């Protein structure tokens, strides 16, 4: 995702932010879809029998049951975003990735947590 963005926008913050957004949305979307697919059919059927609309069924039944899987997707999206920031640091952007790269290469690993 980063190479086409660099070809379009050059080595800028716009290219990096766009790549991070696109790269991080993939696991979040996949895990959300998977979480909604794994909701037991009996639960959605019970909501239908209770007279819930599609939106009520989504908000009150499906999303709460899919929340653990969606949380895993959110975690993976954050990890993917950090990965893309590090890759962007290697190509020469001036951002958080440069600081992470300096910290990981140095001996004072706790410096950025202060």
pLDDT, tens only, 50-66 = 999 999 999 999 999 99
pTM of the full predicted structure?
0.71
Rounded mean pLDDT, 3-29? 83
b/e sequence 42-58, b meaning 16+ C-beta within 10 Å: eebeebeeeebeeeebb
Q: Which residues contact 6 (CB under 8 A, 6 or more apart)?
A: 15, 91
Token pair 């949380």 is found at: 71
Give the pLDDT confidence score for residue 14 in this predicted structure: 79
Cβ partners under 8 Å of residue 29, min gap 6: 73
Q: Is the pLDDT of residue 70 over 60?
A: yes
Of 11-15, 52-56, 72-76, which gets the smallest average pLDDT? 11-15
Please give the Cα distance from 109 to 89 (Å, whole number).
18
Give the pLDDT of residue 68.
95
Name the E strands within 12-109: none
Per-residue exposure over 75-103, b if at least 16 CB sit within 10 Å of its own CB, e if not: ebbeebbeebbebbbeeebeeebbeeeee
pLDDT in tens, 30-52: 999 999 999 999 999 999 999 99
By the 8 A CB rule, do 112 and 30 touch? no
Range of the domain at 103: 2-113
Provide the pLDDT for residue 48: 94
Cβ neighbours around 10 below 10 Å, total: 9
pLDDT given for residue 92 in this prediction: 67
Q: Quote the number of domains for the chain.
A: 1
Provide the pLDDT for residue 13. Answer: 76
């Amino acid at each position: 995702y980063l190479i086409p963005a660099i070809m379009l926008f050059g080595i800028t913050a716009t290219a990096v932010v766009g790549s991070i957004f696109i790269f991080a949305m993939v696991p979040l979307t996949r895990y959300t879809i998977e979480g909604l697919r794994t909701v037991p059919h009996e639960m959605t059927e019970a909501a239908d029998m209770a007279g819930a609309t599609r939106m009520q069924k989504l908000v009150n039944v499906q999303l709460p049951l899919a929340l653990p899987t969606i949380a895993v997707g959110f975690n993976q999206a954050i990890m993917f975003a950090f990965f893309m920031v590090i890759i962007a640091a290697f190509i020469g952007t001036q951002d958080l990735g440069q600081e992470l790269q300096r910290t990981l290469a140095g001996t004072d690993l706790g410096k950025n947590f202060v």
